[in-house]
Amino acid sequence: MGIICAYVEASYAVPLPNCAPFGYVDGVAANQMPFAASVPYTCVNYTSSVAKATALLGGDAVINNGNTAWMLAASAFVMIMTPAVGFFYAGLAGEESASNTILMSFITQAIVSLQWFFFGYSFAFGPGNGGFGSFQWAALNDVGYAPSGAYGFGIPHVLFCVFQVMFAQITPALISGAVIGRMKFKTYCVFVFIWTTLIYDALAHWMWSFQIDPVLFTATQQGWLNSLGAIDFAGGTVIHMSSGFAALAAALVLGKRRDNTPPKPHDQPMVVLGATLLWFGWFGFNPGSEGGADAVASYAFINTHLATCAASLSWLICDRIGTGGWTATGASVGAVAGLVAITPASGYVLPWAACVIGAVVSPICYLAVMFKNKIGFDDTLDSWAVHGVGGAVGAFCTGLFACPIVSGQSGAFYGNPQKLGWQCLAIFIAATYSFFGTVIILLGLKVTMGLRISEEEEALGIDVSEHGGRAYNKGDGGVTQEVNPVMVREMANAPHLSMDKNDKFSTVNPHYSHGKEV
């Protein structure tokens, strides 16, 4: 992620002793790198890994207050993006599933954050091998106030963990757009936990993890995709392609809604609000991925803004050509497509290239939406078309436009066509691993828990059948109507029962009136 500090190269004329985990060579020699050939090395037992890191990293172990302040703010920016996805999706969805849509994003924060604390961060970024991490940093063991030696520039290791959990929690929330209105909520919660562990943590490790030398506390690339040469500044493959192709798999496994027509946005102001909060949050998402407040973060900031502007305008043009109108929804969806596409490239390309990426991604995603509608699979809110396809466009363009002036990476247009090849490999791996992994997870849950609510519950609306009432006032003086979801599920098959306009049970049975016995 462009987040490496404290690289040290040492030449050993005298072999180092085999020290215990908190052991190291004599403290005087530790401050003389590369080591003098004449120094006899002995082990020193430090009180903790923090004390060891402080001794080894010297100035790099000192907290940079400016970078730390920026990363704290960036983490808060990214946090707001997950509920913003809920607002965005709820506005795009039908009124009968607004509560369900918002809750699926909101609850993802709780599930993934706890998973991240107990073992997810260690799996994704901890010591291990090229394929997966380990339990070494489980429950944030050895993840404290000292810099890690690999992640961030002079920031506490625990702060990098905080920043990354915001990435982890938004990713499964993006998948929810493909399953709204028909997936059991309890099954969705279990799916989020399993998917984050098996799919997201693995992809993050492959692309972003570094191995910290247990002796020198130096960092080398650990994930196998990153080691080959693939790059992803802030999550085009790890976040957007993984969620987009998982959404495609979910749409195919769950099957279509009862009414498989493209939903008409029921609340355009909510769509615009969600897109605006996403746009704002992305200024922490991309620039924060640099791990400090520097020139690369500044490039990521302006590139994020320009690509989003270009994509919003180009989607509006597509809308005008395709439907004859200018819609706030189209401008908002286009903005999100631009944010998605610039994510992997934001810290690698020049601003003019960001404008090109934003301008081209919207027509491609727009065509993907048209293709989906023609084929007929029910990716309800176009998670695959925007995040899956948009992430692939961004990753591909990174291989073309990466400029060494920005952060040292060169793409095909700057004399390194091999970089484009590695980007294509990363696109293929992210798409196939996420798609087939998601299919396997969902089929397992289908057998053990069931995936879909019943047709009768779906007919009533998932907000009523799963969440106790619709999201909006139905003329009761300002209080959202609620019903007992258990009663709904028990009575959904009763043909003499129906729901009135206030979400109360009415019936032809004279002993009931608006859900009350008379």
Residues 220 and 356 in one domain: yes
User: One-letter amino acid identity for 200?
Assistant: Y
Residues 116 and 190 in one domain: yes
Tokens 């994930």 label which residue?
223
**Residue 260 pLDDT greater than 80, yes or no:** no
What's the mean pLDDT in 441-469? 92
**Residue 202 pLDDT greater than 90, yes or no:** yes
For residue range 152-187, list pLDDT tens digits in order.
Answer: 988 999 999 999 999 999 999 999 999 998 999 999
Residues 6+ apart with CB under 8 A from 507: 496, 497, 498
For residue 185, being part of any structural domain is answered with: yes
C-alpha distance from residue 40 to each of 30, 54, 191, 277, 399 (Å): 12, 22, 55, 58, 48
Sign of CA dihedral 285, 289, 292, 294: negative
The model's confidence at residue 10, banded by pLDDT at 50, 70 and 90, is very low
Question: 75, 163 in Cβ contact below 8 A?
Answer: yes
Q: Give phi and psi for 76, each to the nearest 5.
A: -65, -40
Residue ending a domain, choose from 448, 463, 485:
448
Looking at residue 473, its pLDDT comes to 67
The model's confidence at residue 506, banded by pLDDT at 50, 70 and 90, is very low
Residues 486 and 426 in one domain: no
Residues 497 and 359 in one domain: no
For residue 510, being part of any structural domain is answered with: yes
For residue 385, being part of any structural domain is answered with: yes
Residues 401 and 271 in one domain: yes
Residues 344 and 493 in one domain: no
- Higher pLDDT: 94 or 398? It is 398
Rg (the chain; Cα; Å): 25
What's the mean pLDDT in 79-104? 94
How many DSSP H helices and E strands does the chain contain? 22, 8
For residue range 341-374, list pLDDT tens digits in order.
Answer: 999 999 999 999 999 999 999 999 999 999 999 9
* Dist. CA 9–CA 503, nearest whole Å: 69
Least confident range of 431-440, 489-498, 505-514: 505-514
Helix axes 351-375, 328-342, angle to 10 degrees: 120
Which two structure tokens, joined as six digits, stand for 477?
Answer: 């003086």
For residue 458, being part of any structural domain is answered with: no
For residue range 210-245, list pLDDT tens digits in order.
Answer: 987 655 666 788 899 999 999 999 999 999 999 999
Residues 418 and 379 in one domain: yes
Instruction: Give Cα 158 distance to the centre of its chain.
Output: 19
Looking at residue 45, its pLDDT comes to 67
Tell me how many domains the chain contains: 2
What's the mean pLDDT in 58-87? 91
Question: 226, 246 in Cβ contact below 8 A?
Answer: no
Residues 259 and 392 in one domain: yes
Instruction: Give Cα 446 distance to the centre of its chain.
Output: 24
* Dist. CA 176–CA 191, nearest whole Å: 11
Which two structure tokens, joined as six digits, stand for 511?
Answer: 């002993």
User: One-letter amino acid identity for 212?
Assistant: I
Residue ending a domain, choose from 413, 432, 448:
448
C-alpha distance from residue 143 to each of 21, 136, 147, 149, 447 (Å): 15, 10, 9, 11, 38
Looking at residue 46, its pLDDT comes to 67
Task: Say what percent of the chain tops pLDDT 90.
Answer: 64
What's the mean pLDDT in 36-49? 57
For residue 358, being part of any structural domain is answered with: yes
Residues 419 and 483 in one domain: no
The H or E element spanning position 44 is strand 44-45
For residue 292, being part of any structural domain is answered with: yes
For residue 55, being part of any structural domain is answered with: no
Residues 494 and 432 in one domain: no
Residues 172 and 82 in one domain: yes
Which two structure tokens, joined as six digits, stand for 425?
Answer: 């490999």
For residue range 129-151, list pLDDT tens digits in order.
Answer: 888 899 989 999 889 888 887 89
Identify whether 214 is preceded by a cis peptide bond (ω within 30 of 0). no
Q: What angle is formed at CA 489 by the lines to CA 483 and CA 493, rounded to 5 degrees?
A: 120
* Dist. CA 260–CA 375, nearest whole Å: 12
* Dist. CA 237–CA 178, nearest whole Å: 18
* Dist. CA 56–CA 29, nearest whole Å: 10
Q: Give phi and psi for 51, each to the nearest 5.
A: -65, -40
Structural domain for 114, as ranges: 65-448
Residues 6+ apart with CB under 8 A from 514: 500, 502, 504, 505, 506
Task: Say what percent of the chain tops pLDDT 70.
Answer: 78
Instruction: Give Cα 61 distance to the centre of its chain.
Output: 29
Which two structure tokens, joined as six digits, stand for 149?
Answer: 């030696």
Residues 298 and 438 in one domain: yes
For residue 459, being part of any structural domain is answered with: no
For residue range 312-334, list pLDDT tens digits in order.
Answer: 999 999 999 998 889 999 999 99
Least confident range of 32-36, 97-101, 117-121, 143-147: 32-36
Instruction: Indicate which CATH number applies to the domain containing 393.
Output: 1.10.3430.10
* Dist. CA 448–CA 419, nearest whole Å: 43
Residue positions counted in the chain: 518
The H or E element spanning position 443 is helix 417-448
Looking at residue 427, its pLDDT comes to 98
